[in-house]
Amino acid sequence: MGQSMKSMQELEAIRERARKAMQVRQNQEGGPVISVAMGTCGIAKGARDVMMALVDEAAKRGLDSVVVTQSGCAGYCEHEPMIKVQLPHQDAVYYGSLDERKARDVVARHLVQGEIANDYVLQLPGGEPLA
């Protein structure tokens, strides 16, 4: 027994939506991209929850076109969960030691208001922010 007819229809609607969004993206130059570090260290420290919070918050705020993707371990395992926010024509900003609440805050402040959420910016041992 496979998936029910109703769920197949729902799934097809989601696929259709994805294909349309992909077409729009291909025709226009890059929008915002958030990548979540998903090495073993990140996963063990809650990167998946952070990713789900980012997706949920972006969708709730109508930021549908934001791309949420993943990357591997960046070598700063002690600062996981870590994300990189890349807005078009701007330098990438790295945030560290996030949780679900902070991740939602980053969406609100960085993506909606366009201000870097300084208090979560990843600080390296030398005290310099990784940005």
Which chain residues interact with another protein by CB under 8 A? Answer: 1-3, 7, 10-11, 14-15, 17-19, 21-23, 25, 36, 38-41, 43-44, 48-49, 51-52, 54-56, 58-60, 63-70, 72-73, 75, 77
What is the SS3 assignment for 67?
strand
**Smaller CB separation from another protein, 48 or 97:** 48
Look-up of token digits 């090495």: 39
**Smaller CB separation from another protein, 119 or 125:** 125
Q: How far is the CB of 89 from another protein (least distance, A)?
A: 19
CB–CB of 38/70 below 8 Å?
yes
Q: How far is the CB of 60 from another protein (least distance, A)?
A: 8
**Smaller CB separation from another protein, 70 or 123:** 70
Q: What angle do CA 27, 31, 33 make, to 5 degrees?
A: 130
* C-alpha to C-alpha distance for 35 and 50, rounded to whole angstroms: 11
- Maximal C-alpha separation, the chain: 58
Q: How far is the CB of 69 from another protein (least distance, A)?
A: 4
**Smaller CB separation from another protein, 77 or 121:** 77
Contacts of 115 (CB under 8 A, 6+ apart): 109
What is the SS3 assignment for 93?
strand
Q: How far is the CB of 100 from another protein (least distance, A)?
A: 12
